[in-house]
Amino acid sequence: MGGSLFLIELGSVVILLAILARVAQRAGFSPMPLYLIAGLAFGEGGLVPLVTAEGFIELGAQFGLVLLLFSLGLQFSVDEFTVSLKTNGSAGAVDALLTFVPGVLGGLLLGFEPLDAVLLGGVAYNTSSSVVARIMDELGWFGNRESPTVMAITVLEDLAMAAYLPIITILLTGDGVAAIVTSVALAIIVVLGALAVATRFGPGLSRVVFSRSDEALLLGMIGVGLLVAGGAQRLGISAGIGAFLAGIVFSGPAADRTHYLLRPMRDVFAGVFFLFFGFQIDPAAIPPVAVQALVLSAVGIAGKYATGHWAARRQGMGPRARRRAGALLTPRGEFSIVIAGLAVAGGSDPSLGPLAASYVLVTAVSGPIFARVIDRAPAGAPPS
């Protein structure tokens, strides 16, 4: 009986994700906010809490996080990072100043402990690369002049997470000062080591793992990602960041083909990850933080818009391209949920999880809408 109930629950969850993905596709926005809402409905305090399938979904969520960050790492190379840093380093600094810093200050004003405020700053900082890519694809903006600038800023944000997340993970353990300093130093060494390996041995490693058999290539690359993720976790570093760094190491045809093959599986398990995060949030905890989330979201959207507008203007682009660049940067997503998940698991302020979930929901839904409004506005019109 228990086995049949497990299969029924799991099948119902998968069908629900499929329905939500279709709804999102027809509406023209990322399904991520709908997955979060579904998690709220079927998790703690929800309408129909799951009984037997939650443990399996938790494992699927961990696998989804590893695949998601491994796939993101495959999109970047050290050369791209170096070029982005040289050409858009100042935009990255403005980005942090207008989004991360207000997020931290907002957390302190809400009475959070300093570490929780820094976590909220991370939630506010990182633009969702997947939502941005979806918006650009839906609106046909990939060939626009502002697109490389927007993608360069998101690259810098994602790579900044490679340093931020290991440190935050270590600080959340609450170990002594000596242990924290040692662990932080180790995390920095691992990050720098991964970048050095990518620079020196990346092309060679890519040639070794590349295969004309899609099956062999995919199995080999996923195996490497899981091994590195597990090894990183053994060292006290986030498994997701280990997977992200593993993805950065590979380049060329191996990375390109794996990213293409991995996309459907990544999207499925990433949906499970967002769903599971929603499971951990009691829906009754959201209304008390709704106003705070709306205010913080408004500040965060304004900061991202200003960052994109400034960066595009600095590149000599016209008013319309500046507005599109600003609008593209506004949605938050993957890393914001990762950070919020760490906060929930690490015993942070109970209101931080619901606040982060609400923040991501507001920005992930409003971002695509904002982009469409901007796209339809006359060239000389002010942004809506």
Q: How many domains in the chain?
A: 1
255: in domain? yes
Domain with residue 357: its CATH number is: 1.20.1530.20
Q: Which residues have CB under 8 Å from 168's CB, separation 6+?
A: 115, 118, 119, 122, 339, 342
> DSSP letters of 195-226?
HHHHHHHHHHHHHHH--S-HHHHHHHHHHHHH
Averaged pLDDT, groups of 10, the chain, 384 residues long: 70 85 78 81 66 67 79 71 70 92 94 93 88 76 82 80 76 68 70 74 78 86 88 75 81 83 80 78 87 94 95 90 92 83 82 90 86 71 44
382: in domain? no
319: in domain? yes
Q: Which amino acid is at 160?
A: A
Question: Which pLDDT does position 324 carry in this prediction?
Answer: 92
197: in domain? yes
381: in domain? no
Q: Which residues have CB under 8 Å from 25's CB, separation 6+?
A: 31
Token pair of 252 as six digits: 């060329």
307: in domain? yes
Q: How many helices (DSSP H) and strands (DSSP E) are in the chain?
A: 16, 0
Residue 378 DSSP class: -
245: in domain? yes
Instruction: Check if the beta carbon of residue 206 is closer than 8 Å to that of residue 251.
Output: yes
Task: Find the domain containing 229 and state its range.
Answer: 2-376
194: in domain? yes
